[in-house]
Amino acid sequence: MGSSGRFEALIGMGVVVWLAAVAVAAPPLEAVEGLFDASRPRTLGLSDLQLTETVLYRATETTFRFCHHPNLVKREKMVWCMWSNGRVGEDEPGQRILYSTARVGALDRWSTPRELAKDPSGRGACVAAGWVVSGKTLVAFYTITGGTNFDPKTALWARTSTDGRTWSVSRRVVPGFYIAPPIAVPGGGLLLAGEHVGKERELGRMALLRTDQSDGLGGWSSSTIVPGDLKVFGYTEPAPYVLADGRLICPFRNYSGFLYASESRDGGRTFTAPVKTNFPDSLARHATGRLPAGDYFLVNNSSSKRWDRSILTIALSADGRRYDRAYIVKNEPTRRRFDGKHKLDGWQYPHGIVVGSELLLAYSVNKEDVRLARIQLNALRPRR
């Protein structure tokens, strides 16, 4: 569906959509009372996790000095990480996409970063949006902005590779601003979650789309969601995940100091109205997923103080709804070395995948470096 068609669809929702998307009786997810101790901002009352950390990119005086939006994927015997890489500040013209690879079993040794994509016009910024593996094809997604992030020309683009060395020409996929990859949903399709741009942003914030194509290169149609009070949301940066019963939970970034969340009971075609949870969040991107033993994880800056990214935590849940365990991933003091547009100190914008017996978490540091943490899955199991 084209941009104008999707805008008309939003207008035409009316009472029928509102009745289909009324708030659920309780928030789709919660943190157990006392899980995060806001009176102890340095630790939130949590213990540290043991992890192994590797630097994938470190900004210097002679290199590009902005890094953000890391995204991971495993393909065969290799792990791939892409991220946004700008000259000075965030999402400025000339920002490109870099990627690095490491072999499974040697995840402390990553290749020298290479350029994956840039805006051929030189006027927009490229923003990393993750990967999809479809058969033998690796799809690399990235947003190209139209000069500003919510410009009507801002859209998702993609390149593909079957050998991991040569890449197809870039192709435009769908309008919107995206920083995370599509996820697999029940029925064999994919769900893409990001931001509306242009006129569509007058009626909505989060953009949720679904396709039956396994590569995510086409067939996208808008999911139904009524966001409610738009003043609550700026960037929503959704991070949906699938429960064992096939339902989807989709948390959203917002201005309240706590995550909002919606639920889908039909494979991501319609979502309930977002409601405020009690899960603290400092206004930043978060990461979600499921571990092989069945537990769900949610990684975020779990301070309710706006823009506080000094602590990155992981919370765990047996059912994906009630998070009752949490640990510190990173909370060492950090200080950026270079100033720039929207630069912030701290551990930010995580993305995680499971590889073998480890959870891999990639994140930016002060929006200028990219690091990878490897956490043993045994360390995340309930302590008896």
Rounded (5°) CA angle 205-206-211? 140
DSSP structure class, residue 224 = B
Which pTM does this prediction carry? Answer: 0.93
Instruction: State the residue for tokens 């891999």.
Output: 360
Is 189:268 a contact under the CB 8 Å cutoff?
yes
One-letter amino acid identity for 99?
A: Y
Helix (H) or strand (E) holding 299: strand 296-300
Alpha-carbon distance 333 to 316, whole Å?
24
Spatial CA neighbour of 349 closest among 367, 336, 332: 367
The pLDDT value given to residue 15 = 36
List C-alpha distances in Å: 2 to 143, 159, 292: 17, 21, 38
pLDDT of residue 219: 98
Nearest alpha carbon to residue 64 among 84, 45, 44: 84
Q: Report the alpha-carbon distance of residue 313 to residue 323 in Å, rounded.
A: 12
The low-confidence residues of the chain, meaning pLDDT below 50, are 3-4, 7, 9-24
- So where are the chain's domains? 3-380
List strands edge to edge, sheet with 30-31: 30-31, 322-330, 312-317, 296-300, 287-290
Please, are residues 205 and 193 in contact by the beta-carbon 8 Å criterion?
no
* CATH code that applies to domain 3-380: 2.120.10.10
pLDDT value at position 382? 84
Please report the pLDDT score of residue 383 as a whole number. 73
The predicted pLDDT at position 18 comes to: 40
pLDDT tens, position by position, 232-260: 999 999 999 999 999 999 999 999 999 99
**Per-residue 3-state assignment (H helix, E strand, C coil) for 312-376:** EEEEEECCCCEEEEEEEEECCCCCCCCCCCCCCCCEEEEEEEEECCEEEEEEEECCCEEEEEEEE
